[in-house]
């Protein structure tokens, strides 16, 4: 009986100690996991923590001396006002990624209810950096815009590259360095030309337009090549004279 009593007591006490020890180990492990998770969050880059946000820059054409800002929808009932310069890219705006980039003006209807008049929109990209071109359809913002969204990452449009955008109503062709290209209306292409000679920092550029199924030259020059800058070239018809024009911007990275 004594043996049974002490055996029972021994196993009773030991079981309690094991349960206590087991629970202590679990709590300790959970605390360590929590600490590791907290430390991991502190070292995650801000860009990863704000993965839902993208960096936007804007440019409007044809060029104006002082283009008026425009509203960009960033969610249900939310807008921000963004600058849309013509002679340089705008500052960077960090906003939450939307399915579409919608531009317009906040106003009210006859019932004094808030509404958003849409002047132009385009499908957003998944890229964390996007360049948005707003192409005017008339003299006033309310005349509307064509909206073009371009992947603005350096890997896609970086130093030493040229973006050619054809907003004219005719085909545009060109030779930059040794590379030839043709751009149809409302299309664009990005080219990274090679220097004419090894180590050279310029390339020869020749541009043509299509007339009666023939290529007519209208521009010839040498442009600088640099990994620290990129070029944006836009072709369009002047709204007043109807003549073919081009507008170029050198953006330093």
pLDDT by residue (tens digit) across 123-176?
999 999 999 999 888 888 888 999 999 999 999 999 999 999 998 889 999 999
* 26 domain residue, yes or no: no
Nearest to 67 by CA among 45, 89, 93: 89
Question: Domain for residue 158, yes or no?
Answer: yes
What is the predicted pLDDT for the residue at 113? 86
Q: What is the pLDDT at residue 42?
A: 37
The pLDDT assigned to 32 comes to 55
Same domain flag for 149 and 68: yes
| Domain coverage including residue 245 | 154-253
The pLDDT, as a whole number, for residue 214 is 87
Domain boundary residue among 123, 153, 183? 153
pTM attached to this predicted model:
0.72
CATH number for 94:
2.60.40
Q: Are residues 129 and 205 in the same domain?
A: no
pLDDT (0 to 100) of residue 7: 36
Q: Is residue 91 included in any domain, yes or no?
A: yes
Q: What are the residue ranges in the chain where pLDDT is below 70?
A: 1-51
Between the alpha carbon of residue 184 and those of residues 13, 71, 160, 171, the distances in Å are 87, 30, 23, 5
Q: How many domains is the chain built from?
A: 2
Q: Are residues 164 and 251 in the same domain?
A: yes
Q: Is 214 a member of any domain?
A: yes
The verdict on residue 80 lying in a domain is yes
In a domain, 30, yes or no: no
Residue 34 lies in a domain: no
pLDDT at 184: 94
Task: Determine, yes or no, domain membership for 16.
Answer: no
Whether residues 62 and 112 share a domain: the answer is: yes
Q: How far is CA 52 from CA 92, 97, 129, 215, in A?
A: 16, 6, 12, 46
């Amino acid at each position: 009986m004594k043996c049974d009593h002490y055996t029972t007591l021994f196993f009773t006490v030991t079981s309690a100690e094991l349960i206590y020890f087991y629970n202590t180990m679990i709590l300790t492990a959970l605390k360590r996991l929590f600490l590791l998770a907290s430390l991991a969050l502190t070292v995650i880059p801000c860009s990863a923590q704000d993965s839902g946000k993208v960096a936007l820059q804007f440019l409007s054409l044809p060029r104006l001396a002082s283009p008026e800002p425009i509203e960009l929808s960033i969610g249900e009932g939310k807008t921000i006002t963004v600058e849309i310069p013509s002679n340089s890219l705008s500052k960077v705006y960090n906003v939450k990624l939307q399915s579409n980039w919608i531009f317009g003006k906040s106003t009210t209807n006859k019932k004094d209810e808030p509404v958003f008049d849409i002047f132009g929109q385009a499908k957003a990209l998944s890229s964390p950096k996007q360049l948005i071109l707003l192409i005017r359809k008339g003299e006033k913002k309310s005349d509307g815009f064509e909206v073009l969204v371009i992947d603005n990452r350096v890997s896609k449009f970086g130093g030493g590259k040229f973006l050619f955008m054809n907003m004219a109503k005719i085909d545009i062709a060109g030779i930059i360095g040794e590379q030839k290209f043709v751009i149809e209306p409302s299309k664009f292409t990005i080219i990274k030309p090679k220097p004419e000679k090894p180590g050279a920092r310029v390339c020869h550029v020749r541009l043509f337009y299509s007339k009666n199924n023939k290529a007519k030259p209208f521009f010839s020059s040498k442009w600088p090549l640099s990994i620290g800058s990129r070029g944006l070239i836009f072709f369009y018809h002047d709204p007043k004279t109807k003549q073919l024009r081009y507008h170029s911007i050198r953006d330093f990275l």
